[in-house]
Structure 1
Amino acid sequence: MKKTLRFYCFAAIGILFILLFSCSMKRESIGSHNKIIVVADSTVWAAVQDELKAALERITYTPQPEPIFTLLQKNPDELNRITRLPNILILGELQSQGEMKKLLDKLLSKESVARIEKDEAFLFQKKDAWALDQMLAVMASRDVETLKKNILEQSDKIFDVFDAFNESKTFRTIFSQLEQKDLESTLMSEHGWSVRVPHDYHVAVDSSELRYVWLRRFSPQRWFSAYWEQVDDPSVLSKEWLLQKRAAFVKEFYDGDYVYQDTLITVREKVVDFDGRYAIRLDGVWQNDKHVMGGPFRTYGFYNESDARIYLLDI
């Protein structure tokens, strides 16, 4: 009898362990990282959807205009069916009722609610909330008008939450396979800088004289290039300086590429943090009439104090 009882006790403990362990295990998120599911009551969505789309459905030119993210609204009672999607945004007001009220009560602490009521906080985020490789953001205000105001005032911050998460996903995917450690060491020994190089890139140009390195891959075509220049005055770094230097090596190596601009498509400038350094980021469109090709480009420029160089990185 004691043996049987002990067996059942161990069996019960084992089952409990399995249940607890299973509950703690999260599966990988599934679905497009360019879609953001917005969980909101229909009335709130109708009131703020224009402002939220302006914040998140920003247009990039490839050269065709395409939104960086696409928003899809779902009602709160549909949440259980979408918890494995990679980008989820909970949108509500503290005056919400029904399922949205239950959801906000579950997700927000008393301290968070108090800050929201004072309009001291509005945007909260959590990675891997219900699935691995997932971004959950909660945006809540005391009423719809305050919610709309906060979306307008903090549109860049809202966008950066999902954009940074999307970039980190891309980074992990790029380096999920082999990395060219030998090439990385060669770049450091010959030029005094290095980057992580995925397995399928090759060296197209490597010139100490021109202070220029171009790494390429095919199928699909991608590239990374770096130009560097020692300067006495780091304040020369500007949008104009970057475009001038970029145009020089593009003319030399890119067989007819040029920066395309018109009344709609321009080179957009943004000051960003690049690994702790002040940097200028340019986003634009290149075109090649000879090969009937075109697409987006992104250029970073920053000053590195340790070697007194300005670096231009182009992708």
Structure 2
Amino acid sequence: MKEIGKLASILLLAVIWVGCDSDYRRKASGSFGQLIVVMDSADFESKTAEALRQTFGGWTQTIPGKPPRFDLTFRDFDSNNELEQLKQFRNVIVASPIDDSTNVAEFMRALLSDEVERQVRDGEAFAFPLKDQWYRDQWLLLLAAPSDSALATQIKNSQKTLVDNLIDKELNRWTAEIYERGEQVALEDSLWQNHGWKIRVQHDWIKSIDTTYTENNERVHFLTMRRPLPNNDRWFWAWWKEVDNINHVDDDWINTKRDSLNKKWFEGSSTRRNSFVTTAYKRPHKTETFRMNGDLVYESRGVWRMTEDAMAGPFVNFTVYDKETSRLFMLEFAQFAPKYDKRKFVRQFRAMLRTFKSDSTWQANSQKSMAIN
């Protein structure tokens, strides 16, 4: 294993050198959602392995079928050739107690500095994410602690941070993948010019509704797009209006507003005119907040259902407040595709929604136009 340690050191130097200029290395391999866990085979049923299964492999409650967050594969290695194969994957976790005598532990120590090893032994740190370590577009996470039980506890206590770090990487990958085949720049520019906001649009989405109407004596706007494919129907809608504040916005308001818009605009087929899309409240749904381009965003994920019908599918909803223009936006992607793995489409929706931008000068431009007229 000394050769493996030397090889790791050489590769680390190579990564540093390549990082100073353009990275011409081959991209990491593997599919979206795949996660390789490198551990000693004797530890595949350890507390650490179980903690990884519960965190990275835990069930996604907000998607029909409750798929795992990631597809975990546990692997060990006995030679440099086997190690080189493992290094090629796009998502890799290397996990081991820091002072074990296994190949994996020795490899881990070769990747960590003496100071970092000390921090691990003293319980000061346990997780070390590395970017593009051996190949381009690679996510690597080193996990180490003084013992198996200590490492398992650390993983469980940091579940959200660890999982979100990998999901963010996957969303960035999906953004690149989604628009690789083409993008409707003209449609995006039209949204920006006519409505003061835009979202990146894939090459084969079709805009349908684009309207302004009065609701409760307020002027509101609504727009829809669709990507109809055999056995995989996907749609997007956007609603927005000017508001004085967002004190009323919370999880209950978002769900109620979503339901009212879906009932108004998304009815059942011609044979089920009284049916409409609504939230499947018997299934788990959740709302989280974060900031994007300086704006406050509520991200809601869950399952929709068609009343008086068996149809259902996943949705991802953004409620965004642009303080600069005093506009409140609600944007939603949804899908009906019984024969497909819905996990990857939900992450596509989450990636596409993150391309949303609002023109912070829109209100000023409107006032200027009104003054001229």
Specify if TM > 0.5. Answer: yes
How far off its partner does 1:118 sit? 2.9
With normalisation by structure 2, the TM-score equals 0.73
* Counterpart among 214, 233, 240 of residue 228 in structure 1: 240
Cα distance in 2 between the residues matched to 1:144 and 1:232: 54
Q: Which residue of the partner structure matches residue 35 of structure 2?
A: 36
Superposed CA RMSD in Å reads: 2.2
Does the Cα contact within 8 Å between 1:237 and 1:310 map onto a contact in 2?
no
Cα distance in 2 between the residues matched to 1:106 and 1:44: 20
Q: Which residue of the partner structure matches residue 91 of structure 1?
A: 95
Cα distance in 1 between the residues matched to 2:58 and 2:239: 29
What is the letter of the counterpart of residue 69 of structure 2? I
How far off its partner does 1:100 sit? 1.7
How far off its partner does 1:137 sit? 1.1
How far off its partner does 1:62 sit? 4.1
Cα distance in 2 between the residues matched to 1:119 and 1:230: 51
Cα distance in 2 between the residues matched to 1:289 and 1:30: 43
2:87 counterpart SS class: coil
What is the letter of the counterpart of residue 155 of structure 1? Q
Q: Which residue of the partner structure matches residue 154 of structure 1?
A: 158
Cα distance in 1 between the residues matched to 2:100 and 2:289: 38
Of stretches 171-180 and 272-281 in structure 1, the one that deviates more from structure 2 is 272-281
Cα distance in 1 between the residues matched to 2:131 and 2:115: 20
Cα distance in 2 between the residues matched to 1:224 and 1:108: 46
* Structure 1 position 258 matched with structure 2 position 268: no
* Structure 1 position 120 matched with structure 2 position 127: no
Cα distance in 2 between the residues matched to 1:112 and 1:163: 25
How far off its partner does 1:76 sit? 4.1
For residues 92-147 of structure 1, the C-alpha deviation after alignment (integer angstroms, 9 at most, x for no partner) is 12112131232112211223223223322222112322222221111112222221
How far off its partner does 1:156 sit? 0.4
Instruction: Indicate the percent of aligned positions where both proteins have the same amino acid.
Output: 25
Q: What aligned pairs does 1:230-309 form with structure 2 within 5 A after superposition?
A: 230-255=242-267, 256-262=276-282, 265-288=283-306, 292-309=310-327
Q: What aligned pairs does 1:133-212 form with structure 2 within 5 A after superposition?
A: 133-209=137-213, 210-212=220-222
1:307 counterpart SS class: coil
Q: Which residue of the partner structure matches residue 226 of structure 2?
A: 216
Cα distance in 2 between the residues matched to 1:108 and 1:36: 21
How far off its partner does 1:291 sit? 6.1
How far off its partner does 1:90 sit? 0.6
Cα distance in 2 between the residues matched to 1:303 and 1:71: 37
C-alpha spacing 1:276/1:55, structure 2 compared with 1 (3 Å): farther
Cα distance in 2 between the residues matched to 1:63 and 1:85: 28
How far off its partner does 1:66 sit? 1.2
How far off its partner does 1:245 sit? 1.5
Cα distance in 2 between the residues matched to 1:168 and 1:211: 30
With normalisation by structure 1, the TM-score equals 0.85
2:240 counterpart SS class: strand
For residues 13-45 of structure 1, the C-alpha deviation after alignment (integer angstroms, 9 at most, x for no partner) is xxxxxxx99xx8522222222121100123444
* Counterpart among 293, 306, 329 of residue 311 in structure 1: 329
How far off its partner does 1:187 sit? 0.9
Unaligned runs of 5+ in 1: 1-19
Q: Which residue of the partner structure matches residue 6 of structure 1?
A: none
Aligned residues: 292
C-alpha spacing 1:236/1:76, structure 2 compared with 1 (3 Å): farther
What is the letter of the counterpart of residue 311 of structure 1? F
Does the Cα contact within 8 Å between 2:209 and 2:224 map onto a contact in 1?
yes
Q: Which residue of the partner structure matches residue 49 of structure 1?
A: 49
C-alpha spacing 1:142/1:76, structure 2 compared with 1 (3 Å): farther
C-alpha spacing 1:111/1:208, structure 2 compared with 1 (3 Å): farther
Cα distance in 1 between the residues matched to 2:59 and 2:247: 31
Q: Which residue of the partner structure matches residue 71 of structure 1?
A: 72
